[in-house]
Amino acid sequence: MGGFQASFQKDGGCVVNKLWPPLVTPDYTPYLAQIAGCDGVCQGFAGSNPIRFMKQYASAGLKYQVIAGEAGADDFLLKSFGDEAVGLVSAAPYTLDLESDANARFVDGMLKNYDAIPGQYAALLYSNCQVLDAGLKAAGGEARDRDKFMAALKSVSLTDTPRGPIKFDHLNNVIGTIYIRRLGKEGAKYGLKLWNKTIHTYENVSQFWTWPEKDFLAHPVYSRDYPPLTRC
Amino acid sequence: MSFWLLLTVNSITFGGLLFLLSAGFSLIFGLMRIPNLTHGSMFMVGAYLGSTFLSGELGFITNFWTAAILSAIEVAVLGALMERFLLRRLAGQPLAQVLVTLGVSLMVADLCLMGWGGDPISVETPSGLGGFLRVGPAVFPLYRVAIIGIAVVIAIALWLTLERTRLGAMIRAGVDDPQMARVVGIRVSRLFTIVFGLGAGLAGFAGMIGAPILSVYPGLDQDMLPLALVVVILGGTGSLLGSFVGSIVIGFIYNFGQALLPELAYFILFLPMVIVLVVRPQGLFGGQVL
Amino acid sequence: MTLRCAAIIIAILALIAAPFAIGQDYYINIASQILLYAVFALGIDVLVGYGGLVSLGHAGLFGVAAYILANVLAAGYGHAVAIAASLIGGLIATAAFAAVALRSTGISFIMITLALGEIIWGLAYRWISVTNGDNGISVTTRPAPFGLSLASPRGFYEATLVIFLLAMAAMAIFVRSPLGAALAGTRDQPRRMNALGYHVWMIRFLAFLFSGLLSAVSGVLFVYYNQFISPQALALPASAAGLLMVIAGGAGTLLGPVVGSALVVIVQNVVSAYIERWNFMLGAIFVAIVIFMPEGLVPGVTRLVRATWRTASRRRPRAMAPSLGPKP
């Protein structure tokens, strides 16, 4: 959420309030009652909570555009969301919607072996294993020499993962594609009624987004109080 | 202004849901003298079963209310079986009974995970109640307002059962003095089974009624059980009025606590329970000391 | 008696040698977990087994010590200061906890301890400025007493073993002490104890402090073992797991909580790798023990072995041991 806020404010947006429900919140109404006087809402929930949030948000009569990170609109939630989630815009490192051979193979495998429509949790872990696999191959199948294996891992660069091409920066953080999706009914596959349709992609996104590395690292660590709120 | 209004209505709504959950808990506690730690599980099972009935996977189509009643009946049967075949074996050993309910709650949680998977299940708001009620500047979801009505209807029905029927008289006798009830010829053991089933059924019904708001997910049991405990300890065991007042009070504390004092929200939620246990162990309306 | 001493010495030697026999870090870590939860279970056993007071809130006391340790370390103090602060803080919290909870006994005591446990959990979960909420607090280093590093699984195991043995010894001394005997008296005959001039409340209070101290010690071990503390570690299921260990192993015995801890930790970690439904198994074991072997595994198995022995030697078997709650 800190990353969203910093980028949003950098581009001239104003964040007027931040509310922090606990991770699992049966009823969001005490928080929803405090949402007013804004243009949009960014939710950062995970697990089953986005479903309850979107539902209760709609039933509280709130109409502001909602945006979310990867966990707040994950593809595995598609079968549980109701129509109230239509219009939710999210940014995610993996999207079920991605048309590539690697993703098609992955989704087919998930359906066949686990009878489950995957979301980012499955896809990212699968990609992690692809990286490990590639690292092991590069190190000649030998992981006992830790330094050699780590060096091999760091230089892994893959193009055939379900999430698209990935590689690592000099701090060993991943560089990959970020997909911006809008939730709707168009294009739904695998028997789903709702679908996260990709409306924009950003390629080669690093952990620093558009900041120069030095500037980014000079920021304080993100917390509930940093970045501070802005009044416009 | 609408902030206060919305929260007030929501407090009462949440209180209504808590009443459905805790009325059975209170009766069981009052009659059998044990906190039924599977009560949260009953709530969750009711919601899961209801969502399955509603989905039509079983080959027949039900509407929301039929699904709620079917799952209530099913959970009631499960509760009665559990009382008859597990708790009855341990009659007279309340500690062992509490521990068994704790063990069963672990098993039920895992069985639900096995049966329904880890993904949350969303339940549609029953048709006709998806709209809003507008009062001045404030907007209330119609379904939440309806929950208040359901809670009141159930409360009256329970009250009439307890006050006006033979079964109710027997339950009241059992709550007041089980030994004496036995002496005058009431089959208290059978009463235990009936009340346990009834309480479980109510919890299951509450689970389905709550499902359109809360959805159904693993861990729902652990979220609801402490709330039922707080309500019943506050209101007093075996007292319908106590559960009702306790539910509304906790509904208010829960909603306003989270909005106004988020850091201390759970502290002030459980504090009344401790204060009552220390100062007035029989609860606000209960007749008996635990 | 000499046979018993020999058995104890052999057991201790076996425990010391265990990591060398086990070899793999994973299993050494499991052994450390068993020992640290055994200390926790011993603390609960003081109240449940010897005092007849069933607590469902002990994870709260465990958590207070754990959070104090993490916070004091985060503030930049050394390990000695942090451990001392956490044990003292744990004792103060226990005293407050006990002062409230000991107004009652029986089911009501369960409810009060449960409520107090939930309060502490609620604070850990929501009092973000102190506890960092869901995200928990990380502790990056382990202490190195007398220059011995505890960073490796083996080093940590040996340190945990020392503390575990101290806790066992303290427990053995406590049980045999006049206070321990008086506590058992208050469990079985509180009114008579009162009539005999014992201060029942004070006896229970002191026992509670001892129980809280053991919980705090295990809380400290927990933080150093995981190098992390989050609200989950002090939620109701954690208290229930502690109680499960005591009841399953055998309340009111020295060895029971240890066996119970081993059972729960092994099911949670080792068995769960093979059986997906281990949570179900844990619940089923619990229910089965409460119904069929209410005195717990250690006394239960002892009874079965003795009964078999007696039947084999054609003597009259002894009557079943009494069930949960007061024991003779």
Rounded to an integer, the average pLDDT of C25-35 is 90
Of the two residues B134 and A63, the one the predictor is more confident about is: A63
Please indicate if any CB of chain B lies within 8 Å of the CB of C321. Answer: no
pLDDT band at B126 (very low <50, low <70, confident <90, very high): confident
Instruction: Looking at the complex, report in whole angstroms how far the Cα of residue B139 sits from the nearest Cα belonging to chain A.
Output: 6
Where do the domains of chain A lie? 2-218
- CB-CB under 8 Å, C286 with B99: yes
Q: Which residues of A touch C125 (CB under 8 A)?
A: 22
* Domains in chain C, number: 1
Q: Which residues of A touch C122 (CB under 8 A)?
A: none
- CB-CB under 8 Å, A59 with B141: yes
pLDDT band at B287 (very low <50, low <70, confident <90, very high): low
**Burial of B136: CB neighbours in 10 Å, binned 0-12, 13-18, 19+:** exposed
CA distances from C219 to A37, C59, C212, C253 (A): 46, 9, 10, 22
Q: What is the model's pLDDT at position B2?
A: 73
CB within 8 Å of chain A, chain B residues 97-126: 119-122, 124-125
- State the Cα–Cα distance between residues A212 and C43, nearest whole angstrom: 54
Residue among B63, B79, B90, B43 at smallest CA distance from B208: B43
C326 DSSP 8-state letter: -
Q: Which residues of A touch C134 (CB under 8 A)?
A: 22-23
| C216-237 residues labelled b (16+ CB within 10 A) or e (exposed) | bbbbbbbbbbbebbbbebbbbb
Q: Which residues of A touch B220 (CB under 8 A)?
A: 26
Q: What is the model's pLDDT at position C112?
A: 86
Of the two residues C307 and B207, the one the predictor is more confident about is: B207
By CA distance, what is C125's nearest residue in A?
A: A22
pLDDT band at C295 (very low <50, low <70, confident <90, very high): confident
Residue among A58, A56, A53 at smallest CA distance from A24: A53
Residue type, A118: P
Selected for mutation to probe chain A from C130, C134, C236 (highest A CB count within 10 Å) is C134
Residue type, B232: V
Return the structure tokens found at A40. 């949009």
By CA distance, what is B223's nearest residue in C?
A: C236
Sorted by sequence, the CB contacts under 8 Å of residue A159 that are 6+ apart come out as A102, A165
Residue type, A34: Q
Portion of chain C with pLDDT greater than 90, in percent: 37
Inside any domain, residue C96: yes
* Mean pLDDT of all residues belonging to chain C: 86
Sorted by sequence, the CB contacts under 8 Å of residue A172 that are 6+ apart come out as A154
Q: Which domain, by its residues, includes C82?
A: 26-261
Torsion angle (degrees, nearest 10) of CA A123, A128, A133, A139: 160
Taking a C-beta distance cutoff of 8 angstroms, is the pair B15, B252 a contact? yes
Nearest to B141 among A30, A48, A60 (CB): A60
Flag the least confident range among A3-7, A100-104, C116-120, C300-304.
Answer: C300-304
pLDDT band at A210 (very low <50, low <70, confident <90, very high): confident
Tell me the sheet residues that pair with A67: A42, A89
* Mean pLDDT of all residues belonging to chain A: 90
Quote the distance between the C-alpha of residue A216 and its chain's center: 20
**Burial of B230: CB neighbours in 10 Å, binned 0-12, 13-18, 19+:** buried
Q: Looking at chain A, which subunits does it touch, using at least 3 CB pairs closer than 8 Å as the criterion? A: B, C
Nearest to B96 among C125, C237, C294 (CB): C294
Inside any domain, residue C204: yes
Please indicate if any CB of chain A lies within 8 Å of the CB of C125. Answer: yes
Q: Which residues of A touch C126 (CB under 8 A)?
A: 22
What is the phi-psi region of residue C314: left when phi exceeds 0, alpha when psi lies from -120 to 50, beta otherwise? left
Nearest to B290 among C111, C121, C291 (CB): C111
Nearest-10 crossing angle of helices B94-116, C106-126: 40
What does the angle CA C201 – CA C207 – CA C212 come to, to the nearest 5 degrees? 120
- CB-CB under 8 Å, C287 with B274: no
- CB-CB under 8 Å, C128 with A224: yes
pLDDT at C1 over 70: no
Q: Looking at chain B, which subunits does it touch, using at least 3 CB pairs closer than 8 Å as the criterion? A: A, C
The pLDDT tens digits for B37-64 are 999 999 999 999 999 998 877 777 788 9
Q: What is the model's pLDDT at position C285?
A: 87
CA atoms within 13 A on the CB side of B290: 30
- CB-CB under 8 Å, C115 with B270: yes
Instruction: Looking at the complex, report in whole angstroms how far the Cα of residue C52 sits from the nearest Cα belonging to chain B.
Output: 10
pLDDT at B290 over 60: no
- CB-CB under 8 Å, C324 with B111: no
pLDDT band at C326 (very low <50, low <70, confident <90, very high): very low
Sorted by sequence, the CB contacts under 8 Å of residue C59 that are 6+ apart come out as C117, C121, C233, C234, C235, C236, C238, C239, C242
**Burial of B164: CB neighbours in 10 Å, binned 0-12, 13-18, 19+:** exposed
Rounded to an integer, the average pLDDT of A3-22 is 89
Please indicate if any CB of chain A lies within 8 Å of the CB of C134. Answer: yes
Nearest to A24 among B141, B223, B258 (CB): B223
Please indicate if any CB of chain C lies within 8 Å of the CB of B104. Answer: yes
Q: What is the model's pLDDT at position C320?
A: 43
pLDDT at C328 over 50: no
Flag the least confident range among A147-151, A179-183, C7-11, C122-126.
Answer: C7-11
- CB-CB under 8 Å, B110 with C279: yes
- State the Cα–Cα distance between residues B130 and A208, nearest whole angstrom: 44
Taking a C-beta distance cutoff of 8 angstroms, is the pair B235, B241 a contact? yes
Nearest to B98 among C110, C291, C294 (CB): C110
Inside any domain, residue C31: yes
Q: What is the model's pLDDT at position C325?
A: 45
Residue among C208, C187, C185 at smallest CA distance from C198: C185
Residue among B124, B85, B132 at smallest CA distance from B104: B85
Q: What is the model's pLDDT at position C270?
A: 82
Selected for mutation to probe chain A from B119, B209, B256 (highest A CB count within 10 Å) is B119
Instruction: Looking at the complex, report in whole angstroms how far the Cα of residue A47 sits from the nearest Cα belonging to chain C.
Output: 14
- CB-CB under 8 Å, C104 with B277: yes
Q: What is the model's pLDDT at position B286?
A: 64
N-to-C CA span, chain B: 42
Q: Which residues of B touch C121 (CB under 8 A)?
A: 266
By CA distance, what is A74's nearest residue in B?
A: B119
Please indicate if any CB of chain C lies within 8 Å of the CB of A144. Answer: no
Inside any domain, residue C247: yes
Selected for mutation to probe chain A from B55, B124, B217 (highest A CB count within 10 Å) is B217
Rounded to an integer, the average pLDDT of C100-128 is 87
Instruction: Looking at the complex, report in whole angstroms how far the Cα of residue A117 sits from the nearest Cα belonging to chain C.
Output: 21
pLDDT at A86 over 80: yes
Rounded to an integer, the average pLDDT of C197-201 is 89
Question: What is residue C235's three-state secondary structure?
Answer: coil
- State the Cα–Cα distance between residues B92 and A106, nearest whole angstrom: 57
Inside any domain, residue C7: no
pLDDT band at B169 (very low <50, low <70, confident <90, very high): confident
Full DSSP string of A10-67: HTT----------SS-S--HHHHTT--S-SEEEE---TTHHHHHHHHHHHTT--SEEE
Q: What is the model's pLDDT at position C34?
A: 94
Q: What is the model's pLDDT at position B248?
A: 93
What sign does the CA torsion over A105, A110, A113, A117 have? negative
pLDDT at C316 over 80: no
Please indicate if any CB of chain C lies within 8 Å of the CB of A224. Answer: yes
- CB-CB under 8 Å, A26 with B217: no
pLDDT at B240 over 70: yes
Q: What is the model's pLDDT at position C71?
A: 92
Inside any domain, residue C308: no
Please indicate if any CB of chain A lies within 8 Å of the CB of B56. Answer: no
Q: What is the model's pLDDT at position C317?
A: 46
Inside any domain, residue C293: no
By CA distance, what is B237's nearest residue in C?
A: C108
Please indicate if any CB of chain A lies within 8 Å of the CB of B215. Answer: yes
pLDDT at C315 over 70: no
pLDDT at B15 over 90: yes
Give kind and range of the element (H or E) at residue A117: none
CB within 8 Å of chain B, chain C residues 68-127: 100, 103-104, 106-108, 110-112, 114-116, 118-119, 121-123, 125-127
pLDDT at C143 over 80: yes
B136 DSSP 8-state letter: T
Nearest to A26 among B3, B223, B257 (CB): B223
Please indicate if any CB of chain C lies within 8 Å of the CB of A223. Answer: no
Q: What is the model's pLDDT at position B178?
A: 79
Rounded to an integer, the average pLDDT of B113-130 is 84
pLDDT band at C323 (very low <50, low <70, confident <90, very high): very low
- State the Cα–Cα distance between residues A156 and A129, nearest whole angstrom: 12
Please indicate if any CB of chain C lies within 8 Å of the CB of B35. Answer: yes
